[in-house]
Amino acid sequence: MTIMTVTTIVAGALFAIGAVAATVRLRRGPGALDRAAALDVLLAIAVGVIMLAAALSRSSVTLVVGVVVALLGFLGTASLARLLPREATQGPTPPPDATATAPTADDPATDVEREGR
């Protein structure tokens, strides 16, 4: 076994573990952001596998394919981030404070009500 074979086996195993973890997050993700992050990780793993194949085959064409897939993945992630609603990124809005909307003694409407006009 050469060092390239050992490296390929180790890298393949790590890619497989990462793909399983990202797939679990994709299926269980409670929100759209979790699923988008899992898809982005899966895309990065796919690019890594393509680059590993390029290193094994010593082919420059495979290297170009990996770069193109990475660029398309970046564009997809950027457009998905643009399409996600702001509530998903900021979380739910808190309920309004009840004391903030209550009339105060300085409010002109309460003076009118007190005088009975």
CA pair distance 71, 84, nearest whole angstrom? 20
Asked if residue 4 lies in contact with residue 41, where contact means CB atoms within 8 angstroms, the answer is: no
Q: Model's pTM, two decimal places?
A: 0.67
For the segment 55-78, the average pLDDT, to the nearest whole number, is 91
Cα→Cα distances 29→42, 79, 102, 110, Å: 14, 20, 40, 51
Q: Does residue 108 have a pLDDT over 70? A: no
105 to each of 44, 75, 112, 113, 116, how far by Cα in Å? 61, 56, 11, 11, 15
Cα separation, 11 vs 15, whole angstroms: 6
pLDDT digits (tens, 9 = 90+) for 75-93: 988 888 888 776 555 656 6
Please give the Cα distance from 37 to 24 (Å, whole number): 12
The beta-strand segments (E) located in the chain are: none
Cβ atoms of 26 and 35 closer than 8 Å: yes
Which tens digit of pLDDT belongs to each residue from 4-34?
889 999 999 999 999 999 999 999 988 888 8
